[in-house]
Structure 1
Amino acid sequence: MALIFNGDGTYSMVYPEGTSPMIWLRPADRPKTDPTLSPPKSVLLDTLGYVDGECNDTTAAYVAADGRRVQVTFWMHHPPLVSCFTVHSPGVKPDAFPEMAKLLATDGDLALLRVPHLPLNPFSDQPDSRFFVYRIGGGAAGEKPPWLRQLPNPDKLMFTDHTVGFLNYGTHGQADDRFFAAAFYQEHPLRPGGSVKFYISLFDSETWGWTRKEVFVDSPEAYRYRFTNKAITIGGDRGSIAWVDLSNGILVHDLLLRNDILRYIPLPPSELPDLRTNSVRDMAVVNGYLKYVSMSIAGLVVVSVEYCGLVVAVYL
C-alpha cells in the first residue's frame, strides 16, 4: 500500500495489483430482505461497516461544514442471518477509505459509529476518525425518521474503540433523544511507587460537548484492574456503564448520579492456572443480569455473585 499526493492537500490510497480492499464492499451474495416479514425486534449485527451507496428506509445522511456528505444505511435481517450497515460519501471511491467504519456501541434505537476521516491527509492535524450517532428509523407512518449526527472532535482525547461506553437516555423513560458517550482510560505512574489514576471523558448530548474528569475507585482491590477488554451498557435508574477486564473484574460508573466513583466488581477466581491459555471469555448484559462466559478445556462450573445490587452469573 502507498500514499499518492493529489496536489490539493489530500492523498489517495494505492494498493498493489490484486490486493484492493474488496472486503470493504458489501458482499454480492448478501441475503435479500423478505418484504413479507415485519422488521426484526433484535438482530445479529456485524460491527464493521461496508462501503456501499445503496439506500433504503433506514438511510440517514449528515452534511459537514465543508460540504462533504456521509451516508449511513442499515440492512436488517431476522436472526440467524447477520445484519450489517454501510457507509457512503459521494465522490469518494471505496479504496479511498483507509479502514472500515466501526460500530462501537448500541443502546435502544441509537448507535455510536466511528467513520474514517476523509479525505486522507497524514500531515493534517485533523483526527483520523469522526464519531457519529445514528438513530434507526423507518418509512412507516408514525415511526421516527432516521437521523445521523456528528459528534464534536474530542480535542486531545485519545481512546480506543473498546473503551467507549454508550447510554441512550431515551430508553429510560425519557421522551427526548438525550444520550451519553463515555471513554475510560488509565494513567500509569512514570515513577515506581506511584498509583494508577482513572479518567472518564464524557460526551453529553444536552450540552453537545466533551468533559474530562478524574474518577476514584471504591476499593483497593480495584487496582487489580489492568486492561479494558470492552465496555457494556447496564442502564437502569443510575444509567450505569461498565468497563470490563475479563481477567480480573469490572468497573461500574453511574452516569446519572453525576458522581466521581467507580464501583469495582471482582470476577470469581478461575480454576485454570492461566486464563490466557485455551480460554475464550466474554461478558454481556442479558435481561438485567451481567453474564460472564469463559469457555476452556476445563469442566463446566456455574457460580453467581451478588454485589451492590448487581447479580453476576458466571459460567466457567
Structure 2
Amino acid sequence: MDGFTPCLAPPSLPTAEEGSDLTPSSVLLDMEAYITAAAVSNATTAVGYMRTGKPIHITFYLAHPPRLSYLCAHFPGPAAANSLHPGAPAARCIKNPPIVISTHADLALLHITHPAARDLGNDKYHDYFVYTARPWGPSLHRLPYPHANAGFQDNEVAIFRCSGGGRYVIAALRNTCDTRKFRLQRYDSDTCRWTSTVLYVHAPVRDIVLPIPDTATQLIYHNTDKVIMLGGPRATIGWVDLWRGILLCDVLDQDKPRLRDVPLLKPSRAYRRYFCIGGPRPARDIAVVTTSPVNKVIKYIEMEIRPGEDLPPPRQSACDSDSDDDAPPHCHHLDHVITNWFVEGLQKDCKVDVTDILVKNQRQLQQPMLLPQLTTTDDPQNLTMRLRRLYAAHPTLGLADHGDLVIYFLSKANIMDNKGWVMAVGAMDKMLRGIAELDSRKNKHWMMETQVLCTIGKLLRKWRILIKADKQEGLDNRSSMRILQKKSLATSAPASSSGASPRR
C-alpha cells in the first residue's frame, strides 16, 4: 500500500531526571500527528468516533521548547467497508495524518482524514474534531460537517474559547470570486450548528498603502496565511495575509460583523523584490502576545537573509569532518530586526543579528543532536561562523516560561537534507536559548511547513493537572528579523495565545 503514511514510533522525550519540569507553561507543537500501529495512552488520551463509526485515539506528549511536543493518532481495527482497502489495518492506510489546525485556551481543533480514503477531495472522507483538556478527563468531539460547498482550508479557520463558561466558536473566512467579498463560516457550540454570512471589507486601505506590484504572483486582495486570536467579549479574530495585512472581525458581534483592514508594513529593503511573490511564511510570522491581564499586542517578525562570504574549499582529510571548511557551498547571513508597532506610530523594539547571538551556557552546545559544524569551541568567533553556515526559515514568535520574547526558527546545513533543527534565541537579550533536532523521518526535503511551530497556553495549565494525576497513578507518561507590535483592539479577554494554521 505505497503512498500511505508509515506508522512511526514517536521519539522519546526528556525524563524528570534531566532536571526540568515536564509541564512547561507553553510548548511548540509539531502539528502533524505520528501514526502509531499500537495504542498509546497517558492522561491526555481521548477517544472519538469518525462519521464512519470507526474510533480514533489522540494522545499528546509534552516537551520543553525548543524541543517539539507532538501528538499521536491511533486508528484501531480495520478500515471502513467503503474505503479504498476495506478490511486492511486502518493504521496502515493513512494518506494524510491528522493535524492540529488551531488552538486556544483548553481547546485544539483537529482535521482528520479517514483511513484509506477513496477521494481526498471528497468532503465525506474528512472530519473535524475538538479536543478539550479537562481535569476529569479530556474529550474528543466530532463536529457536524459544514453544509455543501461551505468547506474551508485549514489555514483559514480558528477556534476560540469564550470567557465565563463552556462555550466556544469556530470561525473560517473564505475568499469568493469577488476579491473584496468574503464568506464567514461560524460554528457555535451553544447551538451545535454552522452559519454562513457574506462580509465585505470595511474601508479597504491596503491597496493604497501596499499596492500589488506588477511582478506579483499573488494577485488577490487577501490570501490568508495564518489566523490569530485577539479575544475580547466579541471574540476578535484576525485573518493574516503575511504580505499585505490583517482582516479583523468580531465574530460574536450581535449585529452583522464587519471586516476591518489593517495593512502591514512594506517588506524590508532586501525583500521588496520578492513582495507578493510566492509564500511569505518562510520569512515572516505574526502572533498575539499577552503583556498583562488586560492588554495584548500584535507582534510581527521578518527574517532578512543576506548572502554571506564564499567558503573555503573543503579539506580532503576525513578527520576534518568537524571543521568549518565542511560547511555547504552557500551560506546565509541572518539579520533580525524587531520593531514595535503602536497605534500612535512605529517604533523599533530590537534588532538581532546572527553575529550578536551569545551563549551563556556552553552545555547548550554539547547536545548529541547538533551538527558537527555546531560543536562548541573555545573561540566565540568560530561559533558565530558556524551559525552563519546554516540555512534558516520559518521564524516563529513565542514566550519563554518567564514571559521573555523568544524567536524560534528552523535551520538546516543543507536545505535538501532530512536532518534539521529548531533554534531558540532571546529577542531582547540575544541569548541562544537552545537547539533541538527535528525528527528526520518526518522532516523531508526543503524546509517543511508541517514542522512549523505553534504555541499553546492555557491548555497546558490543565494538562499539568492531568499529568500530575497520571504520575500518581503510576501510568506511563513519556514524556535581518523585524517584529512589529500593535496594541490590541480587544483588552477585556483573559490571557490567550494564538494558534497556527498550516496549509494543506
TM-score grouping bracket, smaller chain normalisation: 0.7 to 0.9
Name the CA distance, whole Å, in 1 between partners of 2:103 and 2:95: 24
How far has the Cα of 1:109 moved from its partner?
A: 0.9
Partner of 1:255: 251
Higher RCO (CA 8 Å, separation ≥ 6 residues): 2
Question: Which amino acid is the alignment partner of residue 164 of structure 1?
Answer: V
Q: Which has the higher helix share?
A: 2
Give the equivalent residue in structure 2 for 1:292: 300
Q: CA deviation at 1:43?
A: 1.1
Determine which of 196, 207, 214 is the counterpart of 1:212: 196
What residue is the counterpart of 1:243 in the other structure?
239
The 1:26/1:205 distance shift into structure 2, 3 A limit, reads: farther
> In structure 2, how many angstroms separate the alpha carbons of the residues matched to 1:118 and 1:239?
35
Structure 1 residues 89 and 123: alpha-carbon distance in aligned structure 2, compared to 1, 3 A threshold: closer
Paired letter, 1:248 = R
Structure 2 unpaired stretches of 5+: 78-88, 212-220, 291-295, 307-334, 350-481, 485-504
Taking structure 1 as the reference length, what is the TM-score of the superposition? 0.79
Is the contact between residue 127 and residue 142 of structure 2 (CA under 8 Å) also seen in structure 1?
yes
Partners of 1:127 and 1:201 lie apart in 2 by 18
Maintained 8 Å contact 1:33/1:77: no
Task: Identify the residue that residue 158 of structure 1 maps to in structure 2.
Answer: 151
1:304 maps onto 2:341 in alignment: yes
Q: Per-residue deviation at 1:236?
A: 2.1
Counterparts of 2:231 and 2:43, CA distance in 1:
29
Q: Quick one: distance in 2 between partners of 1:292 and 1:54?
A: 38
- Does residue 229 (structure 1) correspond to residue 225 (structure 2)? The answer is yes
Give the Cα separation in 1 of the matches to 2:120 and 2:182: 31
Conserved 8 A contact 2:5-2:94: no
CA-CA distance at 1:185 after TM superposition: 1.1
Residues of 1 paired with 2:63 and 2:121: CA distance?
A: 40
Kept in 1, the 8 Å contact 2:127–2:145? The answer is yes
Cα pair distance change 1:33/1:83, threshold 3 Å: farther
List gaps (5 residues or longer) in structure 1.
1-13, 138-142, 190-194
Q: Is the 8 A contact 1:26 1:86 kept in 2?
A: no
Quote the Cα distance in structure 1 between the aligned partners of 2:52 and 2:266.
Answer: 53
For residues 99 and 257 of structure 1, do their structure 2 counterparts lie closer, same or farther at Cα, with a shift above 3 Å needed? same
Partner of 2:173: 184
Going from structure 1 to structure 2, the CA distance change for 1:186 and 1:90 (only over 3 Å counts) comes to same
* Distance (whole Å) between structure 1 residues aligned to residue 120 and residue 60 of structure 2: 33
> 1:20–1:209: structure 2 CA closer, same or farther, 3 Å change rule?
closer
Change (3 A) 1:120 1:305: same
Asked if structure 1 preserves the Cα contact closer than 8 Å seen for 2:245 and 2:262, the reply is yes
Q: 2:273: which partner in 1?
A: 274
Report the AA paired with residue 231 of structure 2.
Answer: G
Q: Which residue matches 1:3? A: none
Aligned partners of 1:201 and 1:124: how far apart in 2? Answer: 19
- Which position in structure 1 is the counterpart of 2:139? 147
Q: Distance in 1 between matches of 2:338 and 2:62?
A: 36
Counterpart for residue 106 of structure 1: 103
Whichever residue aligns with residue 151 of structure 2, its letter is M
TM-score with structure 2 setting the length: 0.51
Give the CA deviation at 1:301: 6.3
Aligned to 1:84: 70
The number of aligned residues is 281
The answer as to whether partners of 2:42 and 2:59 remain within 8 angstroms in 1 is: yes
**Structure 2 counterpart of 1:175, which letter?**
G
Report the 3-state secondary structure (helix = DSSP H, G, I; strand = E; otherwise coil) of the residue aligned with 1:113.
strand
SS of the residue aligned with 1:94?
helix
Contact 2:45 2:138 in 1 (8 A): yes
- In the TM superposition, what is the alpha-carbon distance from 1:238 to its structure 2 partner? 2.5
1:75 aligned onto 2:57: no
Letter matched to residue 183 of structure 2: Y
Secondary structure of 2:187's counterpart equals strand
Q: Equivalents in 1 of 2:297, 2:29: separation in Å?
A: 21
Q: Report deviation, 1:65.
A: 6.0
Give the counterpart letter for 2:92 in structure 1: D
* 8 Å contact from structure 2 (residues 15, 22) kept in 1: no
Query: Given the superposition, is the C-alpha separation of residues 275 and 65 from structure 1 closer, same or farther in structure 2, using an over 3 Å criterion?
Result: closer
2:100–2:108 CA contact under 8 A, matched in 1: yes
Rounded to whole Å, the distance in 1 between the matches of 2:195 and 2:242 is 27
Residue identity in the other structure for 1:25:
L
Cα deviation 1:139-177 (Å, max 9, x = unaligned): xxxx242000000111221211111121111xx2x132x
Contact kept, 8 Å, 1:25 with 1:94, in 2: the verdict is no
- The whole-number CA distance in structure 1 between the counterparts of 2:117 and 2:4 is 17
**C-alpha contact 1:216 1:260 (8 A) present in aligned 2:** no
